[in-house]
Structures are given as structure tokens and as C-alpha cells.
Amino acid sequence: MQSPPPETRLETASPHVLVVDDDVEVAALLSRYLGTQGLRVSVAGNGREARAAIIAQAIDIILLDLGLPDEDGLTLIRDLRKQWHGPVIIVSGRGESVERVVGLELGADDYVTKPFDLRELLARIRSVLRRAQTVTTPVTKPRGFAFDGMQLDVPARRLTGHAGEIALTTGEFDLLLAFVERPHQVLTRDQLMNAVHGRDAGPYDRAIDVQIGRLRRKLERDPANPAVIKSVRGAGYLFAPAVRPL
């Protein structure tokens, strides 16, 4: 993981990255490199410090290692998602597909395996931050969408239903927005992967399938027999309800 040459900085106003990693060398490398790219970086060496940092500061994105000394990173994600819904990128030496799937199931937005290329990691951060900070222009696009008894407020990135607000992660919101903007159309996994992660799906990439399963559990009356997000065998997924722009 050698530091690459300097490159163009992020156009956002100093986003704040929280690096959660007990490897001092990795944390220092990320702090130095991301700092040269216009990012503010804080470091937490364990789960306790990560929780304290989130309470004390406005964090825009978390880079999370799974092998923490005081708890498993997957447990930390599960707990964070109860109160914090910003983007999380897992950066871990655990490359097993089952842990990738579990991490995405619990609400991570992306997964990068160590050792990583710093420029690729920066590109992933840029992509996730752009999605999280996108502001829809009301002159050209609707401010929201109504469907199946629910309302999606696009500028506020907020979904409400009969029982109140339905908490969505950054990836879940982007996935739902891609569907409601194209109802009754079959969307391929590559189209959805580009909408959510800014890249095509690999042949063994289950990120979209995992996120759709998670979104179904929040939208469907019976997730085992989905009526809102339907699977189209060999083609992709289709958003079935009538959608009304707001």
C-alpha cells in the first residue's frame, strides 16, 4: 500500500472521515493520504473510541476494519445503524465472501479488502460521498415520490410510511431512488450497481442482491413473497407499485 502521487482533491467542503482501525501504521497512512486529498480525518483504535467520536463530532463517512481489539466490526456496524445512518466502507483483511455479504446485510455501503490501492479507496470514498451529499434540483426533478402508502423525500433523503420514518442507509436510499425514478422497468444488476456504487457488478458481486434483500425487509409486507421489488429471472429487478411524483 504505497502512497500514490498527489491527485485532484474532493470537491466537497472538507468531508470528515473516521478511520476505525487498531493498526497504527494503516491508520497513519490513511490519515496522511486522505489529508492530502482535502479530507479531514479522525482515528479510532477500537469500538469504544468510534462510538465516542460519532457522538462528539459530525462524521461524514466511516472506514471500518472488522478486526477490532474490543469487539467485532460487524457488531459495531449493527449497533451504529440503530442511531447513525451515514455511509460505511468496510476496509478489512477479511476477504471471505460470507463476511462481505454479512457486512452489506448489516448496512455497509461498500467493502474494500486489504491490502488496498489508495487511489481505488479514494475513488470509492468519492463515489459514496457524492451519493450521500447529492442535492436534487427541484426545477428539473421532483422533490419526492409517493408509492404504496409511503413517501420518499429526495432532498431530505427521508422515507416515511404509515408508522412514521423508515430509516435507510445511504446505499438503501440510492437503490430505492433508482427504482422510483424508473418504475415498471426491468433494471439490470449493472444498472443498479452503477446507481448505488458507481461501478458495474462483477460476476460474483452480490452487493446489489444483498441490498435489495435488506430494502425488501423495510418495504414489503411479506419479504419472502415480494410485491414491491420483484425479481425478473435472468434480467434483473422491477419496481412494481404505481409511483406519483411530488
Q: Which domains, and CATH codes, for the chain?
A: 16-133 (3.40.50.2300), 144-245 (1.10.10.10)
Please tell me the predicted confidence (pLDDT) of residue 137: 37
Shortest CA distance to 118 belongs to which of 35, 183, 57, 232?
35
pTM above the 0.85 mark?
Answer: no
Query: pLDDT-based confidence at 103, cuts 50/70/90?
Result: confident
| pLDDT (tens digit per residue) in 51-67 | 988 888 889 999 999 98
Query: pLDDT-based confidence at 199, cuts 50/70/90?
Result: low
The stretch 96-119 carries a mean pLDDT of: 85
| pLDDT (tens digit per residue) in 114-145 | 989 999 999 999 888 887 765 333 345 678 99
- Residue 224 to residue 216: CA distance in whole angstroms: 9
